[in-house]
Amino acid sequence: MEQTKKLLIIGFVWPEPNSSAAGGRMMQLISIFAENGFKITFASPALDSDFMVDLSEFGVEKKSIELNSASFDDFVVELNPDVVLFDRFMIEEQFGWRVSENCPKAIRLLDTEDLHCLRTVRQKAFKENRVFELRDLLSEEVAKREIASILRCDLSFIISEYEMQILKEIFKIDSSLLHYLPFLVDEMSDEDLQKLPLFEDRQNFVFIGNFLHEPNWNTVQYLKETIWTLIKKDFPEAVLEVYGAYPSQKVLQLHQPKNGFFIMGRAEDANEVVKKARIVLAPIRFGAGLKGKLLEAMQCGTPSVTTTIGSEAMHDHLPWNGFITDDILEFAKQAVALYHDKNLWLKSQKNGIAIVNECYQKANYSDQLINVVNALLDDLENHRLHNFMGSLLQHHALKSTKYMAKWIEAKNKN
């Protein structure tokens, strides 16, 4: 009888699928591994939150762990996982060397969420009012850490085809270390579409996003200070509702009901909020990865207006479910047109459903994921033999994160 395979996920935070796209993606990964018979333990050094998912409802064991503590070594030795999944490169830096030393035969997977270095460099270019260039990545400190983490792992999940291209062409990462894995959702049928609220039953513009994520805060500022004025000029009765988890005082101060600009705070049910809206506005100026809010809009049958950064790698050249533009006058014009033109709105809605079904089908990617993990389990030694740069980075002379952690651990004991 085949023994049940054990998966250890080490999370940057506890999953909050209703707060962020990252939380939703983590639950998608958990469901795929669970459906394929893995026994899952989810460990994190993060504090519990009021909005974290109850992992036990999904058959997942929850374990709190400490940073810079040998107690993790004892825990991971006892668990003896077959596969370890690190949630973002910062977690691999903290725990990767401990997994490598204590469970050398465990497959080490990295879920990048998005390329942090790409987001960081774009943000810097934006704040310095200059054009982002790909070569900027090569001098970015975060890039050196993130690429080192990818090389140390046996396989990294990459959410965006554009980021796959960057890793292969700019950083020269071998394809065998990368696995394309977008957001994964169920197919939408005509019946699903008929259950969605009608054009006439929807009202208002909406933006939704976790405010711990800097691109979201910047987008709301941009909406308030620039785009909303243009929309109100053409459409004086327009209302925008801004939803998002963890709004700061700076965000709350933008609340201006007299101007139709409402800061609503956390959405109890993001799906319901987006379904009731007529248009999603997302003038995102920097960032990386895929935008969960825009996929969610498509699933809710809600057209969107966004930027090239917002739509990047999201629709595989299929027609967008609304409009893509970086011109603020055009953005406002298209937002108002889409709001009022039912035929244009319905056409955009259908475009969104087509993108969901073509680009994000869970059925198309889940088997591939499990197959590649099983292939690693069967041939890990040979796979690592061909990853010389990874083994070089595992060498003791380059393990700065390990010795920093040991120094902090010793310091904490005194």
Look at residue 225 and tell me if it is in a domain.
yes
Domain-embedded: residue 304? yes
Q: Return d(Cα 62, Cα 18) in angstroms, integer.
A: 19
Q: Establish if 267 belongs to a structural domain.
A: yes
Per-residue b or e along 277-289, where b marks 16 or more CB atoms closer than 10 Å to that residue's CB: bbbbbbbbbbbbb
Query: Residues near 336 by Cβ (< 8 Å), separated by ≥ 6?
Result: 231, 234, 235, 238
Q: Running DSSP on this structure, what letter comes out for residue 231?
A: H
The two tokens of residue 267 are 């959405």
Select from 263, 227, 218 the least CA-distant residue to 244.
263
Domain span at residue 79 reads: 6-184+362-413
DSSP tag of 18: T
101 and 125 co-located in one domain: yes
DSSP summary character for residue 154: S
What per-residue confidence (pLDDT) applies to 412? 83
The residue among 122, 116, 151 whose CA lies nearest residue 136 is 122
Same domain, 120 and 224: no
Report the candidate in 212, 214, 182 with the shortest Cα–Cα distance to residue 285.
Answer: 214
Q: Are residues 178 and 296 in the same domain?
A: no
Do 317 and 231 reside in the same domain of the chain?
A: yes
Distance CA 156, CA 149 (A): 9
> Do the Cβ atoms of 137 and 170 come closer than 8 Å?
yes
- Domain of 19: which CATH number? 3.40.50.2000
Whether 254 and 298 share a structural domain? yes
**Whole-angstrom Cα distance, residue 403 to residue 400?**
5
Both 229 and 376 in a single domain? no
92 and 210 housed in the same domain: no
Place of tokens 């969901």: 356
Please give the structure tokens belonging to residue 138.
């090569």
Q: Which residues contact 81 (CB under 8 A, 6 or more apart)?
A: 6, 7, 8, 41, 103, 106
89 belongs to a structural domain: yes
DSSP 257: G
Distance CA 114, CA 111 (A): 8
* Closest to 16 in 3D by CA, of 5, 8, 26, 2: 26
pLDDT value of position 403: 74
Gap between the terminal Cα atoms of the chain: 49
Q: Are residues 169 and 281 in the same domain?
A: no
Residue type, 185: V
Residue 233 has a pLDDT of: 97
For the chain, what is the domain count?
2
Q: Give a yes or no: residue 129 inside a domain.
A: yes
Predicted confidence at residue 18, as pLDDT, reads 83
Q: Are residues 387 and 345 part of one domain?
A: no
- Any domain includes 168: yes
Contact yes or no for 390/147 (Cβ under 8 A)? no
Please indicate, yes or no, if residue 17 is contained in any of the structural domains.
yes
Rounded Cα gap, residues 130 and 122, in angstroms: 10
For each of the chain's 414 residues, which pLDDT tens digit applies? 467 999 999 999 999 988 888 899 999 999 999 999 999 999 999 999 999 999 999 999 999 999 999 999 999 999 999 999 999 999 999 999 999 999 999 999 999 999 999 999 999 999 999 999 999 999 999 999 999 999 999 999 999 999 999 999 999 999 999 999 999 999 999 899 999 999 999 999 999 999 989 999 999 999 999 999 999 999 999 999 999 999 999 999 999 999 999 999 999 899 999 999 999 999 999 999 999 999 999 999 999 999 999 999 999 999 999 999 999 999 999 999 999 999 999 999 999 999 999 999 999 999 999 999 999 999 999 999 999 999 888 875 556 777 777 788 888 887
Residue that has been written with the tokens 């890039």 in this structure: 143
Percentages helix, strand, coil for the chain, rounded to the nearest 5? 50, 15, 35
Residue 95, token pair as written in the block: 């725990």
Instruction: For residues 25 and 141, give the distance between their C-alpha atoms in angstroms, rounded to a whole number.
Output: 26
For residue 1, the model assigns a pLDDT of 45
Are 246 and 174 within one domain?
A: no
Give domain status of residue 342, yes or no: yes
